[in-house]
Structure 1
Amino acid sequence: MKKAKPPFADPDVEARFASFPEPARAGLLKLRGLIFETAGATPGVGALQETLKWGQPAYLTPETKSGSTIRLGVPRQGGFALYTHCQTTILSDFRSLFADDFVYEGNRAVYFKDSKALPAGKLRLLIRSALTYHMK
């Protein structure tokens, strides 16, 4: 498996990433790195907790409780996805800005096919919104 940045603190999460099929794993590792990078650059978020929820890697802000959970996974139809809590406005707000730029599943997920074409700038906005959701 490609070396993850930052290193995995939880061996169960690391094993879950190792179990993802390629090329989805490469995309999920890029999203993971973007989540940690965005959290580190966003005031008020604090340390992230990386754990498994429903068998998927999940990112929480337990120290500050500033955010809503972000999850990563592989949908049935293939590719890979970033999930937000469906009872928040995180994804609907993002979709209002970038309606035609991504493939969405309601207020729940953004789907991706190609890890090389991830628009990091736009995704940082989505991730920052999730990590600061309770600071509004």
Structure 2
Amino acid sequence: MALRRLIFGTAAGIDGVGPLQETLKWNQPSYLTSETKSGSTIRLDRMGATEQYALYFHCQTDLVATFRELYPTELSFEGNRSIVLHVDDPVPEQALSHCVGLALTYHLRKRRPSTRSSQAE
């Protein structure tokens, strides 16, 4: 429930994301930006019979690679698809909120033209 609140809270604070659709995909709670199509789906689930759980992201995006670059020591990852957490550890809310925000705006960033200046510095 804490991750659900974090996802909805993060979405509410970002212009352009709009309301989230909460549904089940592969029998996992899933969060989609169906109205605005601004982001990539986020799913939540326990990892097998372990004391771990994860936030899953579309594996054909660069999201987890980006998260790994931003939070190499603060977060744990599985391949290119998830952020892995342990039930006994505190939830790293700041890092997760940032990652969730990046996922919820993934398509917005891909649609925007480059904002780099063409002038030499």
TM-score (norm 1): 0.76
What is the RMSD computed on CA atoms of the aligned residues?
A: 1.2
Structure with bigger helix share is: 1
Question: Could you tell me how far 1:115 is from its partner in structure 2?
Answer: 6.0
Q: 2:43 aligns with which of 71, 74, 83?
A: 71
Question: Could you tell me how far 1:116 is from its partner in structure 2?
Answer: 5.5
Q: Quote the residue 2:103 is aligned against.
A: 130
Larger Rg: 2
C-alpha distance in 2 between matches for 1:103 and 1:93: 13
Q: Quote the residue 2:114 is aligned against.
A: none
TM-score (norm 2): 0.85
> In the alignment, is residue 90 of structure 1 matched against residue 90 of structure 2?
no
Structure with bigger strand share is: 2
Structure 2 segments unaligned to the other structure (5+ residues): 110-121
C-alpha distance in 2 between matches for 1:69 and 1:93: 16
C-alpha distance in 2 between matches for 1:110 and 1:72: 10
Structure 1 segments unaligned to the other structure (5+ residues): 1-28
Q: Quote the residue 1:15 is aligned against.
A: none
Aligned residues: 108
Runs of 4+ in 1 over 4 A off after TM superposition: none
- Share of identical aligned residues, percent? 49
